[in-house]
Structure 1
């Protein structure tokens, strides 16, 4: 069985399987994942979820941080400039009937963060996992009297954001490059901490939220955006060595359940939670794929420099498969199974 799966994967990575069939196969894998996670019925599923919550409490804050860098964050910025929207928001965007394109969807989600995190000028703001700076640069421009500290695991991202700050004459941003396990902010304190699709790379939420709580001023608030499953918490490597996503794009990653963070309220307390259908991520990933295919020749050059010219076509197709996998996962069952969740916590 594994040999057959490996053969199909190799054919897919060589571009020998049409996209439409690939998407059917991805949806089939989604159904298999759900069936495996729910085997034994409700009682068995609840017991597995309880055990995984306990396991998180005994884990390091983050694992496989070097893999995350290699797989995503240290790729040259031009790759993402060819695929993402104008603000390089490498996370779910917000779409409705009035959203014309990816650039507008990026802005809509950033505006949502602004409102739900209750941002204001003059605040001291910490962004954990700042990516290519979409939110940091947005906040810096809109709140010139705020002081923003952006934290990334990637030197390439820090250099990119610093260059954007110089180009935009933004002098209210400090960027740090550090592994989340070793982040030490000393005596600094913040009115707001925001994190967008970083918690999925974390494990020990109890320790992480304790540290965040210690960085918040009294009454300070934490805003978190994650992707999640409606009810299931699971690590990506749980499917074993044949988990293509874990191997190439999300080593050490975690799929939280929509209520996972609510189990860790010792140091911060939930004020409000919002759930957004996965179709917003589906549309985002499909837009990234469209941009990718539109800029194929330029992307092949970038991937050739990153992975070697002999591997450019292979990685071009792997990235296409990654965009399709994200789109089909979050579009599954009309976006009602895998979701986007927003949380606003307040320091206890």
Structure 2
């Protein structure tokens, strides 16, 4: 048994101090960074080849979809942005970081009023609601796999008088929209998709002439890897992110016969580190309310899952803060259909 699995096994039974959990996560990050250090384009090509053998989606968010909306309302910022936020200064608040990340996303995607826009994996609607408000003459279609998310976004759109936003629930394995779109945007959904080639091929057919596809994903600087359910050390894969992957920053280049990267941007991992730290602070502040919401799902295992969710937030902070944010980070790509 490794040191990491021993610590996690102990923490499953009794609470451990954050410093111990952080040390275990740091060790796991170091091990993974060392393993990925020598990965190159050939490794990405091999990884992309293995992805082709999988279905588009394999239930990557299974550990999170059943969690009540009240949990995310307590942990996330005012916009309920369940993805990386952008901190311009040391004094930036979570709300300000949410808004700056949304502003940059809109800018990088090249969005404009009057466009038809499809968002894949809309989560709790932070970007879709932002787009619908900022571009009143645009037609926004938001796609989620969660009925709870759809209900929340629709309620918010109605409350805000946003008549240009439509929300649908769909399995990405079979989703097929009506018509074509000027822009397709996806924020931290492709990490839950396994067969990028199959999905990207479909996406290209959904784009209008001169349309663009924008994607935000978390990435490692050099190597792609899976969250392995069989790895006893990787409890995130076992309990929270089953079936997910961490792409390299360059993995998208393996699909340049489908989409050509027109422009790309990189955010330091420290932005996600601070995002997770702010979520963790909210978690601790609203612990009683969070415990009550989780009890509806986990029952007698609520105490265990409270610890697991804190570990997830700690792990996110440690992972993206590793090596001062230079190892793992966030990548933006604006792409056009390959000729």
Aligned to 1:28: 27
Aligned with 1:59 (options 54, 57, 68): 54
Q: Residues of 2 paired with 1:17 and 1:170: CA distance?
A: 46
Deviation at 1:99, TM superposition (A): 5.0
- TM-score, with normalisation over the residues of structure 1? 0.93
Q: Does 1:319 align with 2:309?
A: yes
Question: Cα deviations across residues 170-205 of structure 1 (Å, max 9, x unaligned)?
Answer: 11111111111101114x110000000000011221
Task: Give matches, 1:87-236, under 5 Å.
Answer: 87-97=79-89, 99-186=91-178, 188-236=179-227
Distance in 1 (CA, whole Å) between partners of 2:13 and 2:99 is 35
SS in 1 for 2:322: helix
Cα distance, 1:127 vs structure 2: 0.1
> Structure 1 stretches of 5 or more lacking a match?
none
Taking only aligned residues, the RMSD between alpha carbons, in angstroms, comes to 1.7
TM-superposed CA distance for 1:209, in Å, is: 1.2
Cα distance in 1, alignment partners of residues 188 and 216 from structure 2 = 6
Paired with 1:142 and 1:13, the residues of 2 have a C-alpha distance of: 45
Query: Is the CA contact (8 Å cut-off) linking 2:117 and 2:183 kept in structure 1?
Result: yes
Quote the offset at 1:13 in angstroms: 3.5
Picking from 278, 292, 299, the partner of 1:287 is 278
1:52 Cα deviation after fit: 1.2
User: What displacement does 1:347 show?
Assistant: 2.4
Counterparts of 2:23 and 2:41 in 1: how far apart (Å)? 29
Q: Does structure 2 retain, via aligned residues, the 8 Å contact 1:227–1:340?
A: yes
Alignment partner of 1:270: what SS? strand
3-state SS of 2:151 partner: helix
The alpha-carbon deviation at position 242 of structure 1 amounts to 4.0
Q: How far apart, CA to CA, are the structure 2 residues paired with 1:32 and 1:57?
A: 27
* Correspondence for 2:295: 304
Corresponding residue for 1:339? Answer: 329
Question: 2:88 is paired with a residue of what secondary structure?
Answer: coil
Q: How far apart in 2 are the matches of 1:49 and 1:345? A: 19
Conserved? CA contact 1:73–1:157, under 8 Å: no
Kindly state the Cα deviation for residue 15 of structure 1 after the two structures are TM-superposed.
Answer: 5.0
1:22, distance to aligned residue in structure 2 (A) = 1.3
**May I ask how many residue pairs the two structures share in their alignment?**
338
Q: Runs of 4+ in structure 1 displaced over 4 angstroms?
A: 4-7, 44-48
User: Is the contact between residue 210 and residue 266 of structure 1 (CA under 8 Å) also seen in structure 2?
Assistant: no
SS at match of 1:116: helix
2:228 match: 237
TM-score computed with the length of structure 2 as normaliser: 0.95
* Matches of 1:47 and 1:62, distance apart in 2: 24
Measure the CA separation in 2 of the matches of 1:73 and 1:331: 26
